[in-house]
A and B are shown apart, each in its own frame.
Chain A
Amino acid sequence: MPGLPDPLETLIRALLRWPGIGPRSAQRIAFHLAREEDGELRALGGLISGLPDSLGSCSRCSNFSEGDLCPICLDVRRDDATLCVVEQPDNLAAIERSGAYRGVYQVLGGSISPLRGVGPEDLRIETLLERLSEGKIRELILATNPTVEGEATALFIARKAAPFAVSITRPATGLPVGGELDYVDKGTLARAFEGRQQVPDD
């Protein structure tokens, strides 16, 4: 943008890399920050720069976590015989919001995509299989995104999990094609979970 001081320009460019932020929102946020008081800005900066130290990932499910285990893995009331596989913590948060699920999770960290150079070994599939081998889990829900990459990832995992003889399901269709789990509204997500279907063997 012409006529903007360098610090603002740089900030706008940094904000543009954030998800869902277009040029107009980036400018609005940057201008808002520029008008903010010193104390507020330093507090916000501290929050952001402190993240690497304050936030880690759960040693069991890889959800974001402050301590070794995330609140879900620590919660004894959760049903640990049901395991739901998601791509990212965002998806987990969306499912939690829907209130339709009381089991535990495994966050994969993405989906298989040869074009982006992501293979099965780059996802936490080995961790998942180890958890299955402990013998406690009876149902595995493959809630990867309804994209071709999510679908292929689910099928890959279903094949790998077959020897453990657990029930393998996938949330019902009706999710928008090519969408992402966290953009789906609560009701739709809850229905998709309730109507989950067995993944057929090939």
Chain B
Amino acid sequence: MLLTLRVRAFRNLALQEIAFGSDLVLVTGANAQGKSSLLEAVYQLATTRSFRSRDPREAITHGEDALEIGGEISQAGSPSVSLSIGRARGRGIRRLCVGQYIVKLEEYLEYLPALVMTGESTRSIAGSPSERRRYMDRATASALPGHLPDLAEYRKALAQRNQLLRQEGSDEELDPWDRVLASVGERIAARREEQIRAWQELLPQWLDLFPEGRASHLFYRRALPRSMNSEQGASTEKASLAEGLARARMSDRRTRVTSVGPHRDDLGIEVQERDLWRFGSAGQVRSSVLAITLAQARRVRQLRPNAEPVLILDDVDSDLDKTRFDALLMAARKEGQTFAATSKPSLTKGLLARKLSVEDGNILSDDESGSATGRP
């Protein structure tokens, strides 16, 4: 559990240190005051990444050279430990520390797995396969940290193969890249498949949030060359990526881009045999994503019993009533310490939680900020 957070030069947040001390932290405030920035800081401290921009350096306050985030986490059965991350502009220097030691990314990620849902992501997941791939990879990497270096390797090998396609390289030159892609790609696909199966099994746990949970089917859709799809129909179980790449090579040469592999695969969900991403209502899509994210958190706990996840819910309440919002928070805090931001203070009434409000980059605890009038 994250006990404290310290930020310096992080977006519009003022230099400050906040104590959380609860498994539910509710952040309120009007738009653009810094609610999302606070959650982003928590997420960046946990994962070194941002859920708001591709380049986490964008979070460095305008006019500053470097940001710093630090925090104290408690661990079951061992003393608490401090994590910190420093990030500079320019050459992109990043320093990760556990306690007083500088550590490598792999080791840093051992400490605080994090899952995130935002109002925007629940909307974009329905419309964008690449958004869905990011969504499943973030959760897969939280559960299985070995996923990240594989993704990085895969991206490099893919860029090399695509370059070779553009410069019309020979078959002999393409072959080794296909083999590298196939072996890393199979590992990536296998991990995603395994996670999706686990999420599917867990889905019926949250029927109050996602009533279709029992009737829905979650699956991994592999991108395969046309010839393989028509031969094997829906049963793509045995098709290997190596074979897919070989069969796609002719058309890949024409289009000069690699058309099969995990970078084209997808996370599918059907409710009563209808594609939810395409035909589901906005509400159905949102509640399915909320339920899947809870399943992802549960899966992280199953695979990494020593690392309790944090759940970050940014602005997911747009059309949730108070009852369902409460149900969501109660379900989330069972899976891990939950940070939720909302612009509707009425939603937080009656909840036992650490309540914070953000005003112009200043994070105030409830008693400090006083009643509805805000500033004195």
Contacts and interface: CB of A to CB of B under 8 A. Distances in A.
Interface string A112-133: 1111000110000000000000
A97 interface: no
Contact of B176 (A112, A115, A178): A112
B176 A152 contact: yes
Given A120-B173, A202-B179, A152 B153 contact: no
Interface string A129-148: 00000000000000000011
A131 to B, nearest CB: 20
A119 B173 contact: yes
A153 B173 CA distance: 10
Nearest to B152: A178
Nearest to A152: B176
The secondary-structure label for the interface of chain A is helix
A121 to B, nearest CB: 10
Given A151-B180, A152-B177, A153-B176, A114 B152 contact: no
A155 B169 contact: no
Nearest to B153: A148
B83 interface: no
A149 B157 CA distance: 8
B167 A114 contact: yes
B319 interface: no
B173 A155 contact: no
A199 to B, nearest CB: 10
B159 interface: yes
Interface string A158-173: 0100000000000000
Interface in B143-191: 149, 152-153, 156-157, 159-161, 163-164, 167, 169, 172-173, 175-177, 179-180, 184
B157 A148 contact: yes
Contacts of B157: 148, 152
A163 to B, nearest CB: 14
Contacts of A178: 149, 152-153
Interface in A10-53: none
A152 B172 contact: no
**Residue of A114, A147, A151 with most partner-chain B CB within 10 A:** A114
Nearest to B148: A177
A202 B156 contact: no
A202 B174 CA distance: 13
Contacts of A202: 175, 179
A156 B173 contact: yes
Nearest to A202: B179
Interface in A92-126: 112-115, 119-120
Contact of B180 (A119, A155, A177): A155
Interface of A: 112-115, 119-120, 147-149, 151-156, 159, 177-178, 202
12 contacts: A114-B169, A115-B159, A119-B169, A119-B173, A147-B156, A148-B156, A151-B176, A152-B177, A152-B179, A155-B176, A177-B149, A177-B153
